[in-house]
Amino acid sequence: MSSLITSKLENILNKTLHPQKIQGVVVKIESGDGSFSWQGSAGNMDTGSSYFIASTTKLYITAMILHLRQEGKLDLDDTLVDYLAPDLIEGIQVFKGVDYSESITIKQLLAHTSGVPDYFEDKPVNKDKLIKTLLNGQDECWSFEDVMNMVRTMKPQFAPGTPGKAHYSDTNFQLLDQVIETITKEKIASALQEYIFQPLKLENTYLYQDIQDTEPEDIYYKKEKLHIPQAMASFRGDGGIVSTVSESMIFLKAFFKDTFFPVGYLEELQEWNKIFFPLQYGGDLCVLICLESFPP
């Protein structure tokens, strides 16, 4: 790689820092065949830093679900009640007086077309949004049952599978965690270790569980540190994985090959639905619609 290209990449990286918004950044760029590879860091991070990968965690859960499908252990048209007790999910998707909770499919959860409210960003009755609470520096923990109870107080925006409709919801992946645990008879952290991390030899990638674990880099909101270990241990499959930039690249390359499932499975999920301008969503893949008035 020429020093000119390296210099340009480092310059772009350094420009992303902002004292009021972004305290650190780490990036890896690599071609499919590995003939081009570059990584760099700026601010309070380095290329070996461990960090929360946030909602990229959902790709790992997607890989798990599609792998279980390949093994014949589930079908994307299966409904939640094929794996979870009806009373556990009752009332989480009531639209215009009809409870659709038992008819939600695995595919709808993956594609965010279930219409199930988002426990993280939607507002419950008589309570602040969870995201607002955490950004104010108030740490708290929650269980799957807590998530279900929160969602029951929220209003869905549409019935499951409504054509052209999507609503990004972390709740979908809390539900998929439970499906995986039912099928594998393992906790989600152990299932990820067995099916994803170990086969790829990811030694620094794991689901955050120990609130005393200080290995991941600090989380910032604007210029303030957020110390919310209880919350990070509660996110699980919707945002709780810790990794490094190198191991994230290993996983991403494996995800788009035939490592865990036939690549054709992804095409079945890619029915693009609008979430909010300029984003569209399909099968846990997100696309940015770039217009002249909305430059990339």
Tens of pLDDT, residue by residue over 106-163, are 999 999 999 999 999 999 988 999 999 999 999 999 999 999 999 999 999 999 999 9
Task: Enter the tokens of residue 10.
Answer: 């480092």
Task: Enter the tokens of residue 6.
Answer: 């390296």
% the chain with pLDDT above 70:
91
| Reported confidence tier of residue 295, pLDDT bands at 50, 70, 90 | very low
Please name each of the domains of the chain with its CATH number.
50-288 (3.40.710.10)
| Reported confidence tier of residue 242, pLDDT bands at 50, 70, 90 | very high
The dihedrals phi and psi of 264, each to the nearest 5 degrees, come to -60, -25
Mean pLDDT, residues 198-203 taken together:
98
The yes-or-no verdict on residue 290 having pLDDT over 60 is no
Spatial CA neighbour of 88 closest among 162, 201, 178, 223: 178
The dihedrals phi and psi of 91, each to the nearest 5 degrees, come to 85, 10
Note the pLDDT of residue 288: 38
The yes-or-no verdict on residue 280 having pLDDT over 80 is no
- Average pLDDT value for the chain: 91
| Reported confidence tier of residue 255, pLDDT bands at 50, 70, 90 | very high
The yes-or-no verdict on residue 296 having pLDDT over 80 is no
Mean pLDDT, residues 201-212 taken together:
98
Rounded Cα gap, residues 67 and 272, in angstroms? 22
Tens of pLDDT, residue by residue over 213-225, are 999 999 999 889 9
The yes-or-no verdict on residue 266 having pLDDT over 80 is yes
| Reported confidence tier of residue 5, pLDDT bands at 50, 70, 90 | confident
The yes-or-no verdict on residue 283 having pLDDT over 90 is no
If one counts every other C-beta atom within 10 angstroms of the C-beta of residue 48, the result is 12
Mean pLDDT, residues 51-67 taken together:
96
Note the pLDDT of residue 88: 97
